[in-house]
Amino acid sequence: MLGETDLNECFDPNADRLQEECGVFGVLGHEDASALTALGLHALQHRGQEAAGIVTYDNDQFRAERHLGLVGDHFSNAETMARLTGMAAIGHVRYSTSGETILRNVQPLFAELEGGGISICHNGHFTNAMTLRRQLIQDGAICQSTSDSEVVLQLLARSREKKIVDRFVEAISKMEGAYALVALTRKKLIGARDPFGIRPLVLGDLNGAPVLASETCALDIIGATFIREIENGEVIVCTPGGIESFFPFGKRPARPDIFEYIYFSRPDSILGGRSVYDVRKEFGRQLAREAPVEADVVVPVPDSGVPAALGYSQEAGIPFELGIIRNHYVGRTFIEPTQAIRTLGVKLKHSANRSQIEGKRVVLIDDSLVRGTTSVKIVQMIRDAGASEVHFRLSSPPIRYSDYYGIDTPVREKLLAAKYNLEEMRNYIGADTLAFLSVDGVYRAMGHEGRDKTNPQFTDHCFTGDYPTPLTDLSEEQEFAHPPRLVEVS
């Protein structure tokens, strides 16, 4: 039975999804640096839709445009681009996971340094940022934002190292957590990835100009060649003279976030040497092997469930049909409904394609199950459209633990798989059968024998509770009273 809050979620098209985190981009030595960055951010828009920013350096000043909204809303005309002068640029798209959604938290951030300046943007989350922030404030730092990313900038500004790269390394060496960082100084474009390589970062080349981006799809849009991924724990420094690479924390096995494959990355991106689309189809194939069912049609929850549904369909030999139509005009908010409207059970984002559903046994495929509030409505919609059976299949394991590395997950108590067992979940969702891909199934679809319990190949704490780094803020934060801060009320 749905409560008031859950009913309201019918009207929030993004409710009950893991929210994407952030995307970063940088380019050095191209006369269209800002336009290329806008295009790259556009390709990374799925990683963050709340705000976008670009900072350039034009050999005189750093220049910034930072806005709430989509890339195309604010970086869409020649005039804006013309103001962002310079041959070097970095940019950021953001879905706020820490820090309020206010303009001063929009990245890239900037610090004026003695005789220089540095701008930074960040995908991920530092798990000790609030602890360090308290120490910095005790030490006289003024933090203008409430973003965890500003801590890197404060540490960098206070470093006594002479060279800016040394300052950068000193700063990130104090940070725990997951990060892909891109920074711009007067002469350098810097990229860095956390020691486990949790968040992705790739290097490309556009006619000799180095490009850094969260995903390869941002290289594709500008026609840049994909060179390689930045390695876990690597710091890469691009100058007009060439590219240098450092491993300031030594080398260790990578452990990228499995959720990039399951949900976050764009299907046409190449990650860890594999097509994300192919991996998702493999999840679907593996799911078909683990949880087969006799049925008439395989229907994806669009758009995220499509590749897995195609894989399931092909493996199971059951026809794939678009049994749910997605309305692409759904904005981020739509209509605060009256009670009368609410009881109509309006679906703004999805509608059943009755001709493909009616009288059929339906295998419904989605990529993940978070709180289940949307799933319960989609299953009901399929039933209302006349399905004789609904078999709900998820192409990832049950999500039982919250994320602290830059993914916006509900608190544990809200996670359906954290409070219910399989049968309880099936009953809640209202499906005839319910099945998840197994954890080992995920690894098998990725080409492994299964999960290496001693050295897991991926960051998979949402399924396993196995967090790769300390969670300092989480343990510390109980002890500190919430300090008064500045709230921009408009």
Mapped onto helix, strand or coil, the DSSP state of residue 366 is: strand
Question: Binding to its own copies by residue 411, rule CB under 8 A?
Answer: no
Q: How far apart are CA 71 and CA 40, in angstroms?
A: 10
Any binding-site annotation on 6? Answer: no
Q: Which of 263, 265, 311, 264 is nearest to 287 (CA)?
A: 311
Question: Is 60 annotated to bind ligand?
Answer: no
Nearest-angstrom CA–CA distance, 283 and 188: 40
Ordered alpha helix ranges (H), 251-317: 259, 276-290, 306-316
How far apart, in whole angstroms, are the C-alpha atoms of residue 388 and residue 487? 53
- Which one of residues 8, 14, 49, 239 is an interface residue with its own copies (CB under 8 A)? 49
Residue 423, interface with its own copies (CB under 8 A)?
no
Question: Binding to its own copies by residue 278, rule CB under 8 A?
Answer: yes
**How, if at all, do strands 235-239 and 242-246 pair?**
antiparallel
What amino acid positions are annotated as catalytic residues? 22
Q: Name the minimum Å distance from CB 73 to its own copies.
A: 7
| Closer residue to its own copies, CB minimum distance, 31 or 452 | 31
Which of the 8 DSSP states describes residue 477? G
Residue from 300, 305, 303 nearest 318 by CA: 300
Among 268, 294, 476, 477, binds its own copies (CB under 8 A): 268
Please select the residue that binds its own copies; options are 253, 345, 447, 465, rule is CB under 8 A. Answer: 345
Q: Is 337 in the site for its own copies (CB under 8 A)?
A: yes
Q: Does 303 bind its own copies (CB under 8 A)?
A: yes
Residue 72 within binding range of its own copies, rule CB under 8 A:
yes
User: Angle formed by the axes of helices 422-429 and 373-384, to 10°?
Assistant: 50
Question: What is the rounded CA–CA span in Å between residue 240 and residue 29?
Answer: 7
Candidates 1, 3, 4, 78; binder of its own copies (CB under 8 A) is: 78
| 107-126 residues near its own copies, rule: CB under 8 A | 110-117, 119
Shortest Å, Cβ 269 to its own copies: 9
Identify which of residues 366 and 403 has a Cβ nearer to its own copies in the complex. 366
C-alpha torsion 107→111→117→120, nearest 10 = -30
Establish if 63 lies at the interface with its own copies (CB under 8 A). yes
Minimum Å distance from CB 84 to its own copies?
6
Contact between residue 51 and residue 45 where contact means Cβ atoms under 8 Å apart: no
Whole-angstrom distance, CA of residue 302 vs CA of residue 328? 11
Nearer of residues 37 and 123 to its own copies, judged by Cβ: 37
Chain residues 184-203 in contact with its own copies, contact rule CB under 8 A? 186
Smallest gap from residue 9 Cβ to its own copies (A): 16
Task: Judge contact between 326 and 302, C-beta under 8 A.
Answer: yes
Annotated ligand binding at 452? The verdict is no
Binder to its own copies among 173, 355, 421, 475 (CB under 8 A)?
355
Residue of 64, 68, 165, 418 that binds its own copies (CB under 8 A): 64
Which residue among 221, 243, 471, 474 contacts its own copies (CB under 8 A)?
A: 221
Instruction: Say which DSSP state 468 is in.
Output: S
